[in-house]
Chain A
Amino acid sequence: MTLRVGIVGAGNMATVHADGWGAAGDSIIAVLDADAERAAEFAAATGGRVADDLDDLLRSVDVVDICTPTDTHLNYVLAGAAAGVAVACEKPLARTGDGARSAVAACREAGVPLLVGHVVRFFPEYVEARARVAAGDIGDVAVVRLDRSTYLPAGASAWFKDPARSGGVVHDLMIHDVDYAAWIAGTVTRAYARLAGSIDGGDHVLATLKHEGGAISHVQASWAFPVGSFRTSIEIAGSEGLITRHAADPFRSLVAVSPDVPDVPAPPTSGESPYVTQIRHFSDVLQGKATSRIAPEDAAAAVDVCDAIATSIESGQAVQIGENL
């Protein structure tokens, strides 16, 4: 079966997602973007048409894929749910935890699938590390260290650089590892974090998380690293063993550093792009061939934790999560 896909927002992530839908054998039917020229170019490149408006798009598709700025996600998710159309949405699910939970509730009530793009759950090294944990190879998870350090892309959009709209480095970058930490170590119950900003706006955040069951996570997210650098690392210590995967190891993590690199370079990969793997998985879920790897509640919880991290940065205090939900 070929899914009819409508994409909202025709920026960088939309192009990445379109490659995934194409690989899955699905069709981009319609696209919507505030920038008519960009929408037309995207439609021409993907074989779809430019939709007249959101209602027009939602009437003609099986799934709406939301690739717009973070602060607009919620309205599009609600519209998709109201139209009874399946929803795929780039992370974060919404700008705030409250919004994310209302998005989850709306999709549940409407009976439409909600698939949120926490792509780290499709990166093979992260998948393998979780499989080892799930197999009991390292016993009970005790101390987790996750790192995602890069730079603020020179060509970043205004909304992306505006923390009020994107949530900044916490909601845009750290959320990947916040979600992964919860995936392997359990629900996050408390967050504490500090942020330092460099002169050119590249924020650097160190967060420590407490999980239900007692595990501890250290999460680093940075846009303060030198231009051209992109580094990730994983360390999971358990009662029976230790998993490490550091940036300097081959094969994925090290990217040539150049002062002229205009954008965050895509990490080299030995196989299929994890972004494509993710969209193929979404396609399989929508066709009943797979169960979603990302529960909507997990996506909402990740935003709640990011909210708590942001609150901790503001207040200087540790923030309990879930008390008032």
Chain B
Amino acid sequence: MTRVGIFGVAHIHADGYLANLESADHVKIVGVSETDDVLRREWAERHTEPIFATHEALIGAGVDAAIVCTTTNEHLAVVEQLAAAGVHVLCEKPLATTVEDSQAIVDVCAASDVLLMTAFPMRFNPSLAAGHVWIDEGRIGEILAFSGTNQGRIPTHYAEWFADPIAAGGGAVMDHVVHLVDILRWWTDSEPVEVYALTNRILHPDVAVETGGMVTVGFGNGVFATIDCSWSRPDGYPTWGGLTIEAVGAGGVFTIDAFAERLDVWSHGDAMWTDWGSDANEAMVDHFIGAVRGEHPLAVTGVDGLRATEVALAAYRSVAAGQPVEV
């Protein structure tokens, strides 16, 4: 039995991870910790698992592995406690709100010899895995460029802190740049070297962070990519958003809609897209548990989270400079 706890429920994914853990083999869900009274009470109304008022208490109950779902700015403090207790960590993305904190998360886990995985479920999306194979096999020849979108509804519908400059470290850029950066690093086996970004606050002008963003990333191998990270899906959109990527090569083109496995559902009310395909979050959680058991190395590490976060933070520097900046 692998004993697992969920640390913090501020992130919307905590509910989904709990379901993923419930369906995993040989996993004991020790409980959940949440220091915020309101969030803890709301969680307890939805779930029956034990909920602790401090992270120490959950660690004290005996856990081998943790999924960290606090607000982004609290990741470091929680991971420090977990690493000190020898607990392996799957941390929500982005890793932290600053490069320093992200680096510290990586360092403390390395020093304590615990696993650190960043929650990049798209690594476990079958279409994107196929794209990786296509590129490796040279099916579209030498890669010229990518254009990617990771657009969504404003996530304040789930939790206000996603648009809090302190808790989230920013808005659409912090929320949606890192997934595509991680996919592109994975696909190209090259590191981002230059970032140019434009942002605005025309969508949902009532929030204190950027809601529109367009980021161009240059990689060390000369390939470039654009990432549209905008919260540009209106409330009436049939789903939360989506992720697409188009690869243009000297010998062809392919486009992936990572969430194409869906049904369009119409009713007298709002239209809805429902998923019927594989669950990337479930595959990611299973992979993490397997790595904790020593069955395989981690496919996605804390360093991957650090590199992606560096690009998101470079985007803000570029916006301030009005020019491309080095990563």
Enumerate chain A interface residues (CB-CB to B < 8 A). 140-143, 145, 149, 190, 192, 194, 196-200, 204, 206, 208, 210, 214-216, 218, 220, 222, 224-226, 229, 237-242, 316-318
Complex: chain A residue closest to B203, CB-CB: A142
Q: Is B288 an interface residue (CB 8 A)?
A: no
**When A222-B248, A242-B234 are in contact, do A208 and B198 touch as well, CB less than 8 Å?**
yes
Contacts of B248 in A (CB 8 A): 196, 204, 222, 224-225
Question: In whole angstroms, what is the CA distance A190 to B198 when docked?
Answer: 10
What are the 5 closest A-B residue pairs judged by CB atoms, nearest first? Answer: A237-B232, A196-B144, A142-B202, A198-B250, A143-B212
Q: Taking each of B198, B223, B236, which has the highest tally of chain A beta carbons within 10 Å of its own beta carbon?
A: B198
* CB contact between A239 and one of B194, B202, B249, B250 (< 8 Å): that residue: B202
Quick one: which of B19-73 are within 8 Å of A by CB? Answer: none
Main secondary structure of the interface of A (DSSP, over half): strand
Contacts of B223 in A (CB 8 A): 196
Tell me the minimal C-beta distance from A129 to chain B in angstroms: 15
Q: Is the CB of B200 within 8 A of A214?
A: yes
Q: Is the CB of A199 within 8 A of B250?
A: yes
Question: In whole angstroms, what is the CA distance A275 to B147 when docked?
Answer: 30
Complex: chain A residue closest to B196, CB-CB: A192
Q: Is the CB of B203 within 8 A of A206?
A: no
Contacts of A216 in B (CB 8 A): 198-200, 212-214
**When A143-B228, A210-B198, A237-B232 are in contact, do A194 and B145 touch as well, CB less than 8 Å?**
yes
Report how many A-B pairs have Cβ atoms within 8 Å.
Answer: 112
Q: Is the CB of A318 within 8 A of B250?
A: no
Contacts of A145 in B (CB 8 A): 149, 228
Tell me the minimal C-beta distance from A236 to chain B in angstroms: 9
Enumerate chain B interface residues (CB-CB to A < 8 A). 141-142, 144-145, 147, 149, 151, 194, 196, 198-205, 211-214, 216, 218, 223-224, 226, 228, 230, 232-234, 236-237, 248-253, 322-324
Question: In whole angstroms, what is the CA distance A215 to B198 when docked?
Answer: 9
Q: Is the CB of B144 within 8 A of A237?
A: no
Complex: chain B residue closest to A138, CB-CB: B234
Q: Is the CB of B216 within 8 A of A208?
A: yes
Q: Taking each of B194, B203, B204, B218, which has the highest tally of chain A beta carbons within 10 Å of its own beta carbon?
A: B203
Tell me the minimal C-beta distance from A220 to chain B in angstroms: 6
Q: Is the CB of B196 within 8 A of A143?
A: no
Question: In whole angstroms, what is the CA distance A214 to B212 when docked?
Answer: 10
Q: Is the CB of A208 within 8 A of B145?
A: no
Q: Is the CB of B147 within 8 A of A215?
A: no
Q: Is the CB of B252 within 8 A of A218?
A: no
Question: In whole angstroms, what is the CA distance A242 to B230 when docked?
Answer: 12
**When A241-B234, A318-B322 are in contact, do A208 and B202 touch as well, CB less than 8 Å?**
no
